[in-house]
Amino acid sequence: MKKIINEPAAFVDEFVEGILLAHPDLLKTPADDRRVLVRADAPVAGKVGIVTGGGSGHLPLFKGYVGRGLCDGVAIGNVFSSPSSAQVLEATKAVSGGAGVLYLYGNYGGDVFNFDLATDMAELEGIPTLTAIGRDDVASQPKERSADRRGVAGILFAFKGAGAAAERGDTLEQVAAVAEDIIDNTATMGIGISPTILPTTGKPSFELGDGEMEVGIGIHGEPGFHRGELESADRIAERLTERLVADLGIGSGDRVAVLVNGMGATPLEELYLLFRRVHQLLSEQGITISKNYIGEYATSLEMAGASISLLALNDERLALLNAPAESPFFKEA
Partner 1 sequence: MNGNELSIAIRNCLGEFTTYSEELGDLDQALGDGDLGITVSLGAAAAAEALNALPETATPSEVVLACAKAFANANPSTMAALVAGALLAGSRVWGDTPSIEGEQIGRFALAAAESISQRGKSQVGDKTILDAMFPAAEALLATDAGESGLDAAIVAAENGVIASKELQSRRGRASWLQERSIGLQDPGATAYLRFLQSWKATNAPVDASTATPSA
Catalytic residues: 58, 220
**Is residue 199 within the footprint of partner 1 (CB under 8 A)?**
no
Backbone dihedral region of 187: left (phi > 0), alpha (psi from -120 to 50 degrees) or beta? Answer: beta
Cβ proximity to partner 1, 86 vs 177, nearer residue: 86
- By CB under 8 A, name the one of 31, 40, 117, 323 that touches partner 1: 117
In this structure, are residues 287 and 254 in contact, taking their beta carbons and an 8 Å threshold?
yes
Separation CA 300–CA 196 (nearest Å): 6
Cβ proximity to partner 1, 115 vs 157, nearer residue: 115
Cβ proximity to partner 1, 113 vs 272, nearer residue: 113
Cβ proximity to partner 1, 124 vs 333, nearer residue: 124
DSSP track, 162-210: HHHHHHTT--HHHHHHHHHHHHHTEEEEEEEEE--B-TTT--BSS---T
Instruction: Give CA 193 to chain center in angstroms.
Output: 20
**Is residue 13 within the footprint of partner 1 (CB under 8 A)?**
no
Cβ proximity to partner 1, 116 vs 212, nearer residue: 116
**Is residue 188 within the footprint of partner 1 (CB under 8 A)?**
no
Shortest Cβ 89–partner 1 spacing (Å): 9
**Is residue 113 within the footprint of partner 1 (CB under 8 A)?**
yes
CA distances (Å), 8 to each of 13, 199, 204, in order?
10, 6, 15
Shortest Cβ 87–partner 1 spacing (Å): 8
Q: Which stretch binds partner 1 (CB under 8 A): 23-31, 84-92, 175-183, 268-276?
A: 84-92
**Is residue 109 within the footprint of partner 1 (CB under 8 A)?**
yes
The count of residues interacting with partner 1 (CB under 8 A) is 14
Separation CA 257–CA 288 (nearest Å): 9
Cβ proximity to partner 1, 140 vs 309, nearer residue: 140
In this structure, are residues 212 and 228 in contact, taking their beta carbons and an 8 Å threshold?
yes
Question: Which residues have C-beta within 8 Å of that of residue 91, sequence separation ≥ 6?
Answer: 30, 36, 37, 38, 51, 53, 73, 74, 75
- By CB under 8 A, name the one of 4, 21, 45, 124 that touches partner 1: 124
The conformation of residue 137, written as its DSSP 8-state character, comes to B
Separation CA 25–CA 221 (nearest Å): 35
**Is residue 141 within the footprint of partner 1 (CB under 8 A)?**
no
Residue type, 57: G
**Is residue 82 within the footprint of partner 1 (CB under 8 A)?**
yes
Backbone angles phi, psi at 227, to 5 degrees: -120, 135
**Is residue 110 within the footprint of partner 1 (CB under 8 A)?**
yes
- By CB under 8 A, name the one of 86, 197, 265, 323 that touches partner 1: 86
In this structure, are residues 231 and 250 in contact, taking their beta carbons and an 8 Å threshold?
no
Shortest Cβ 120–partner 1 spacing (Å): 5
Binding residues for partner 1, per CB under 8 A?
Answer: 82-86, 109-110, 113-114, 116-117, 120-121, 124
